[in-house]
Structure 1
Amino acid sequence: MVSPKAVLGICAGVSATLFIGYCIYFDKQRHNDPDFKKKLRQRRRANKAAASSGKRTNTVFPDMKDHEAVQRFFLQEIQLGEELLAAGDLENGVDHLGNAVAVCGQPNDLLQVLQQTLQPNVFHLLIQRLPAVAPRLMKAQNNASLQEDDVE
């Protein structure tokens, strides 16, 4: 008979492996995008300009119906959040990770991974910021649907 702890450990290992494989696959897809470097340079210039002016950038959320756009946005936000945290910019790094959690299909799994990888104080800051991300996402989706209605 297999103990429940062993089953739980196996399930956690399989979930972590699937999540890492998912990240690697879509990171490879993102890097193979012909406009990747151009978009990356534009985003870095915009972030640098926003940092020098002291303003936070307004995040443009993707259309949640476009699965590929959501995946690209998710990976970009994770990468940017990690880069900012590594550079010591906790505020903006946590904001970007919060955006990634907001668009993630399985936010609980992502939060478990982040809890294991982030420092406790950074993770608590992320948890505190999450309630503020959902209204911004909803507002962006409402604006997108209003613009679609205007086109028709």
Structure 2
Amino acid sequence: MEMISPKAALGIAAGVCGTLFLGYCIYFDQKRHNDPEFKKKLRERRRVKKSAGGGGKRTNTVFPDMKDHEAVQKFFLQEIQLGEELLAAGDLENGVDHLGNAVAVCGQPNDLLQVLQQTLQPQVFHLLIQRLPAVAPRLMKAQSAPMQEDDVE
């Protein structure tokens, strides 16, 4: 009986492992596609992604009531997360808009800008700085409408 060389044994083992891994991937892909909830989940995920990164600038941002600290904090975290996701996906325009919204409602914008300057690419940070003056009027406009309603009472 002839012995198999260690290199041949290693090659056979690698081939068997690769085949098992490929079979595992095919099995679970079929299982996933046959799941009745798969298409619903996929459509929902695509709808959310499309609405988050939809075409054009997003100027219809609904700012929270600045008196409600919890709402402001939730909005801030949401805008930071959405901005980071959009930047990671390559959508610089909308990503910078969301980060600008976060800076506008931040209690310490200078500290946040220092962190962003260290973490963002220089061209993205400069784009953010250029967009900041346009965010303030939108925030003021959003805050002035509820104030007028409060004054009427």
Larger CA Rg, structure 1 vs 2: 2
The list of structure 1 runs, each at least 4 consecutive aligned residues, that deviate by more than 6 angstroms after superposition, is none
CA RMSD of aligned residues (A): 2.2
Aligned to 1:94: 96
Separation (CA, whole Å) in 2 of partners of 1:121 and 1:54? 20
Q: Which amino acid aligns with 2:133?
A: P
Q: 1:80 aligns with which of 72, 77, 82?
A: 82
Letter paired with 1:83 = E
Corresponding residue for 1:128? 130
Q: Tell me how far 1:147 sits from its aligned partner.
A: 2.6
Q: Per the alignment, do residues 65 and 81 of structure 1 end up closer, same or farther by CA in structure 2, a change over 3 Å counting?
A: same
CA contact (8 A) 2:57 2:94 kept: no
Unaligned runs of 5+ in 2: 1-43
**2:116 paired residue number:** 114
2:46 paired with 1:48: no
Count matched residues: 109
Contact 1:50 1:56 (C-alpha < 8 Å) held by counterparts = no
Q: Post-superposition shift, 1:49? A: 3.9
Mapped to 1, the partners of 2:56 and 2:70 lie a distance apart of 32
- Counterparts of 2:99 and 2:122, CA distance in 1: 15
TM-score with structure 2 length normalisation?
0.65
Unaligned runs of 5+ in 1: 1-41
Structure 1 pair 79/106, CA: closer, same or farther in 2 (3 Å)? same
* Alignment TM-score, normalising by the size of structure 1: 0.65
Q: Quick one: percent identity of the two aligned structures?
A: 84
Deviation at 1:144, TM superposition (A): 1.4
- After TM superposition, give the deviation of residue 148 of structure 1 in Å: 2.6
Aligned partner of 2:105 in structure 1 is: 103
Match 2:140 to one of 132, 138, 148: 138
- CA drift at 1:47: 6.3
